[in-house]
A and B are shown apart, each in its own frame.
Chain A
Amino acid sequence: MHCKKEFYRKLILFLVFIAVFTCFSLAQTFEAVKNQVKVHTLKNEMKFIVLERHDAPVVSFHVYADVGSANESYGITGISHLLEHMAFKGSKVVGTTDYEAEIKVLNELDALYDEIKKEKSKVKPDEAKLKEMEEQFESLRLKAKEYVATDEFFDMMSKEGDRGLNAYTSNDATQYIDSLPSNKLEFWMAMTSDRFLNPVFREFFKERDVVMEERRLGLETRPMGKLIEDFFATAFKAHPYSHSVIGHMSDLQNITRKDVEEYFKKYYGPSNLTVGIVGDVNPEEVFEMAELYFGRIPSSPKPEPVRTEEPEQWGERRVIVEARSQPLIVGGYHRPDARHQDDAALEALANILGQGRSSRLYQVLIKEKKVAIQTGSFNGFPDDKFPNLVAFFAFPAKDHTSAECLELIDKEIARIKEESVTSEELTKFKRNAEKNILNRMKSNSRMAALLTYADVVLGDWKLTFDQVKDIRAITEEDVKRVANTYLIKKHRTIGEIVPEK
C-alpha cells in the first residue's frame, strides 16, 4: 500500500538504527528473549519465526518477500512495488463475485492492451483504429469491473480488527504487515495463504494509475524526492540500486498484468518468503497451522541472485537538481553490504560523525558555526543487502550555502581519518545502540520486522541479538581504519538542490 521511501526512513531512523550491547543487564534481557524464539521451516522451504509474548491478546505478522527494486531491470522498474499494490486485490475467492467469468474478461483485456501497444509503437499508428481499440478497452474494463467486489481483501481484514494492515517495498524487500486480536490467528492463515497461493491481479490498470500518482506525490512534486532519485542514478552506474523503488514513469506506463504475474511466479515462491509472528500465540499451534495452510503452496526454486555488481568508482561524482527550493546537500561513499565484517565499525563511524546533539557534525555545523539547521550521517543508503553507501546530509541555514557545510564536513571527516574518535565517543555509541535496539524490540510488529530482516539480510535471525557482540568489540583503531578505507573522495558522490534562479 505504501512505498517505503528509503531516504526519509533513513533520515528519521538514522538516530535509532544500530545494534550493540554493552550493559550486562541488557545482555541478559536479550539472551532471554532470544531463547524464546522458535523457528520452523516447511517442506516447501517457507520459514516461520515465532516469538510468543502474552502481555496483550494481540499478534503481529510480518511476511518478508526477499524481492525489491534491486531485482528489477530496465523496462520493469517499479514492478516490485506495483506488485505489492496488486497483492491487495484479492484472489480467486476474495475480491470477486464470479472468478470464472471475470478471468475471461481480464485475459481479453490483456490481449487488447497488447494490440494497442503494438499499434502505438508503429512509426505511423492508425489513429482511427487506435481510438476504436481504446474505446473497446474502456468498455471491457468496465465489464471486468462488474465482477469485482471492491477492496474486499481490505474490508475482510479490517472487519476482523487488522490494526496495522499495510505493506512496504524497499530496494531489498517487500514486506506485508498485519496486527490482529490473537484469536484471529487461523483467519490470518486462511487469508494470507490464499493471498499468496491464488492471487488475481484485477483492476490492474487503475492501480497502475494510483502508483503513478504516488510517484508524483512522493518524488516528482518534491525537490528532495527528485534529488534522491538523481543521486542514486549517479552513485550507482551499474547496480540496480541506481533506480528508485517507485520506478521510472515510462516503465510504469508500460508494465502489463502478465509482467506482474511472471514476476510474482519468479519471486514469490515459498523459499523466498519468511514470516515473523510475534504476540499472544502458541508456537506449536502456529507451526501446525502453517503446515496446513502454507504447506500447500508448491515449492519453487530460489530465484537467481542479482548479477550486476557496482564496479569501482573512478572519481568524485556530482549531481545537481535545480528547484524552487532552499538548498540541501547529501553525500555518500561506497561501502560493502551489511553482512561485511566492517559493518559495525561503519555504524560507529556514522554515529559519532552525525547522530545526536553531541555528534561532530551537529556540534560544528549547527552549534558552533550555525551554518546548518539539520545535519546527520547514516549507513545503508539506500538499503543493506548489497554494497551501499555511508552517507551524510546537511540543510544549510538561511543565508548559508551547501559549500560552507561541505567544507566543514570534510574537515571533520579528515580529523577522524587522522586522529580517530575518542574512547568517550565510542562508549557513548555503544550505549546508545543498545538502548535503541531495545526500544525497537518493545512493539510486536517491529520485533517481527527485526527477526525477518536479520534472517534474510544478515543470514540468521539470531543476529538480531548476537550482532552486538561485534559492536562491543569495536576499537578506536577500527573506526580510524574504516574511515580511511571507505571515506575516499574518489569513491563518493555529492548531490545538491540548487535554488532555481
Chain B
Amino acid sequence: MKKQKITNFTVFFILIFLGVSSVFAQKGPKDKFVFGPLNPIKMPKVETVELKNGLKLFLVEDHEYPTIDLRAMVHTGSVYEPASKIGLASLTAQALRTGGTTFQTGDEIDQELETMAATIETYMSRDNGYIMVSVLKEDIDKALKILTDILMNPAFAEDKIRLEKIMQSSVISRRNDEIMQIANREFGKLIYGRDNPYARHPEYATIAAVTREDIVDFYKRYFYPNNTIMAVWGDFDAKSMTSKIRNTLGKWKSAKLNIPAVPTVKYQYKYTVNLIDKPDVNQSNIMIGHIGGLRSNPDFPALNVMNSILSWDRMFKKIRTDEGLAYAVWGYYGASYQYPGIFSNGAQTKSESTVYAIDLMLKQMKRITEEEVTDDELARAKDEYLNTFVFNFDSKDKIVRRTMTYAYYNYPLDFMEKIKAKVEKVTKADVLRVAKEYLRTDKVQILVVGKKEDFDKPLSALGPVNVIDITIPSPPQPKEQ
C-alpha cells in the first residue's frame, strides 16, 4: 500500500515535470518538433440538385456570416466566336450584364444592386462563361429575381453595346503600354499560333464587325439552364434555398444544345528566338518554353513535383538568390483542364544581363532533364504539397467552387485527393522520367521584349532572330454616309 502510494506520487511528479518541460522548454528552429495530430477537417456537405430545366446546383451551408454567394459556369467561351468577330463572346457577356432586360434598364439594375450592396458580374474566358453573385442574405430574393431576369430576358440595349465596343477598342489601344502584357500575349501566340482560338485577340476591325444581332445569336446559342452549373454557398438552409432557385431560375427555358468540342492544338516542336524591341525600357522580359499538357494526364502529379523543384530550387535559388538577376523568375510545365497549357519559364532582368540570364535558365531546364533531383529537393517539394494540402479545405467556398469546376470540365469530383495520393508516391526517378518525357529543352521558343541596343550580347548569339512587329492595325475607315 505504502509503496504503491509513493509510486503514484513519483509518477505524479514526473508527469508534472514532463508536462512543464514540454510546454516551457524553448526550442531552437532546428530542434526536433513533434507535431500533434491536426484537428480533423470538417468537410461540409455538398448538396447536389438538378432542376427540371437541367440547371445543376451545388449547395453548401455556411452560417458564419450573413451573406450568400453564387457562381455559375456556362459552357461557352471565346473559342466559339468566328475569327472575323473576335471579341464577340466578351461583348456578349458584358452587354448581358449592362444592357438591361425587358423590364429594367441596365442603369436601373446597377442602382438597385448597389443600393443593397449586392453584385452581379459576368465574364467570358477562352473556354467558359462565368457569373458571380454576392449578396447579404436578407436580399437574396431580390438578387435572384434580377439574376433570373438578366439571364432570361436580356435587352442588349444598343447604347450599352456601343459603350462596350468603345471599352474594348480602348483596351486594344492600350495593349502595348505595359511590357509584361506584351510578353504574355505574344508568347501565347508563339506557342498556340497567332490565329489560334487559345491565343488570338481582338483588333479594331473585329470589334467593329460585331453587330447587335451577332450578340443576340451568341447569347441564344449558349445561355441555357441545361448548359449551366452553379455553386451556391452561405447563410441559408439548403432545402429552402433550392426552392427559392426553383421558383426563379427554374423558369429559365432549356433548349436542345449543340455545343461543339473545344478546338484541339497541333503543336510542332521547334527552336526559335524572337525579339520585340522596346527602346524605352531598361529591363528585358524573357519567356522561354513550348506547349504544355492536360491535368488529366496520369503524370500530372509527378509533373507537379517537378514544377515545384524547377521553379523554386532551380530557377528562384539560382537566378534570383545566387545571381541577383531578377525579382520574379519561374519555370513550370503548365496544365489546363481541357486544352494544353504552356511549359513556361520566365524572368525579368536588366537589359545588360539579358543573354546571360537566358543561358542560365536554359542550363537549369536542361539539368532537370539530365540528372535526378536531390533527396532534399524531393522531400521539400512533396512536404510542401502535402502540408499545405489542408488549405484546399479551409473554407467552404473553396470546396464548393472546386466541385463546380471539376463538374464543368468532367473531372472526378475527388480529383484533388487522387492527385495527393499519387504525389505521396512520386520518386526521384519519376521526376527525371517526366522531365525527360515532357520537356524538350532543345526545342524551346525564346521571346525577349526589351531594349536590344543594351543587351550584353546580341540575341543572335542564341540563333537566328525573328523580329515581331506589335504595331496595332489601324481601325477600319468609317463607311461613307
Contact = CB atoms under 8 A, between A and B. Distances in A.
Contacts of B35: 183-184, 187
A29 B66 contact: yes
A292 B26 contact: yes
A427 B327 contact: no
Contact of A187 (B33, B174, B177): B33
A441 B24 CA distance: 33
- Among A56, A163, A187, A206: residue with most chain B CB under 10 A: A56
Interface string B160-188: 00110011011111101111000000000
A23 interface: yes
A427 B39 contact: no
A265 interface: no
A183 B37 contact: yes
Interface residues on B, range: 35 or more
B136 A155 contact: no
A442 interface: yes
Interface stretch (B84-92, B237-245, B314-322, B455-463): B314-322
- Among B31, B136, B138: residue with most chain A CB under 10 A: B136
B24 A191 contact: no
A370 B23 CA distance: 65
A398 B173 contact: yes
Contact of A439 (B38, B67, B163): B67
Contacts of A6: none
Contact of A190 (B29, B134, B173): B29
B170 A398 contact: yes
Contacts of B170: 326, 373, 395, 397-398
Nearest to B176: A324
Contacts of B383: 158-161
Contacts of B26: 190, 292-293, 296
Given A213-B348, A397-B166, A326 B388 contact: no
B424 interface: no
A216 interface: yes
Contacts of A488: none
A156 B33 CA distance: 12
A163 B388 contact: yes
A23 B173 CA distance: 44
Interface string A313-325: 0000000000111
B27 A190 contact: yes
Interface in B1-51: 23-24, 26-31, 33, 35-42
B61 to A, nearest CB: 13
Interface of A: 23, 25-26, 29, 54-58, 91, 93-94, 145, 150-151, 155-156, 158-163, 179, 181-184, 186-187, 190-191, 194, 203, 205-214, 216-217, 220-224, 280, 288, 292-293, 296, 323-326, 356-358, 363, 366-367, 370, 373, 395, 397-398, 424, 427-428, 431-432, 434-436, 438-439, 441-444, 500
The 9 closest A-B pairs by CB, nearest first: A161-B387, A209-B324, A206-B324, A56-B394, A214-B327, A216-B283, A57-B39, A357-B110, A435-B117
Given A184-B33, A442-B64, 13 more contacts: A56-B394, A94-B30, A151-B317, A159-B380, A160-B383, A216-B282, A216-B350, A217-B327, A357-B114, A397-B167, A428-B117, A431-B115, A444-B394
